[in-house]
Amino acid sequence: MISKVFVTLTLAALALAAPAAEDAFEKRAGPAQVITRCTVPNTAALTFDDGPYIYGKDVVDTLDKNGAKGTFFYNGMNYDCIYDQNPAATVKYAYDHGHQVASHTWAHKHLNSLTFDQVHDEMWRVEQALLRITGAYPAFMRPPYGEYNANVLKVAGQRNQSAVIWDLDSGDSTGSSVAQQKAQYDAVVSRHPSTVLSLEHEVYETTAHQTLQYAITKLKGAGYRLVTVAECVGKQPYQSVSAPQSRTSDWHC
């Protein structure tokens, strides 16, 4: 009770004394925005979860070859450790080629079962890794399994992250065959919504080498612009951008 009264009084004081400070406080402390769809008409955002892994570079090359941009929601420690030489190089490669790098949290845990401090820890570790490797501080995260609760959104809000879900699941992580995945893109193209925010995973060979080119061809053929999540909602991808850091002994999982 005491702290709630204190916060209320503090907010009231800020509102009277300094509207700008109140805005900053609310930005920091309010729950994260949840993005479930793109808002810029005629955009499609392809998103790739669970990397960095061995097919990530091929995914970037396929996007590049087609003049498309993608968004990578990286874990710190999932299929690979983000700090190992090749995974770190894959993250840097995606970033350097103009794709959006974002957080999928550290170890792909079910965030709803974690405490406030544990959620901060899962988010902070991978934000730090992305900052070290690319120099950019991400502004977007995707909770593993798309699972979030008030606690998760509170922490994400404090970390100035938007939480990103999707409105088209390719089914690559839930056992769909390549034919079934392709059928998802056929269906969305014939439905032709204003925008598409799709879920893929860069950790499957079939996603990287079979479904992706099909999805790009279909979506581009239907007139969509293939852009990053940040671009499809008209926001900045990063909280800040600086030079990448040099590897130190602290870069380990």
**In the complex, which residues of this chain contact ligand NAG (CB under 6 A)?**
139, 160, 235-236, 239
Q: Tokens for 131?
A: 């900052």
Among 49, 50, 80, 172, the one annotated catalytic: 49
- Residues lying near Zn ion in the complex (CB under 5 A): 49-50, 144
Are 73 and 110 spatial neighbours (Cβ–Cβ below 8 Å)? Answer: no
Distance CA 201, CA 146 (A): 13
Examine the residue annotation and report whether 192 is marked as an active-site residue of this protein. no
Among 97, 99, 201, 250, the one annotated catalytic: 201
Residue 172's binding partner among ligand NAG, Zn ion, none (Cβ under 5 to 8 angstroms by kind) is: none
Taking residue 96's Cβ as centre, other Cβ atoms within 10 Å add up to 12
Query: In the complex with ligand NAG, which residue's Cβ is closer, 87 or 138?
Result: 138
Are 173 and 201 spatial neighbours (Cβ–Cβ below 8 Å)? Answer: yes
Q: What is the DSSP string of 179-224?
A: HHHHHHHHHHHHH--S-EEEEEETT-HHIIIIIHHHHHHHHHHTT-
Examine the residue annotation and report whether 49 is marked as an active-site residue of this protein. yes
Query: In the complex with Zn ion, which residue's Cβ is closer, 49 or 80?
Result: 49
Residue 160's binding partner among ligand NAG, Zn ion, none (Cβ under 5 to 8 angstroms by kind) is: ligand NAG
Output the residue with the shortest Cβ distance to Zn ion.
49
Query: In the complex with ligand NAG, which residue's Cβ is closer, 105 or 170?
Result: 105
| Catalytic residue annotation | 49, 201
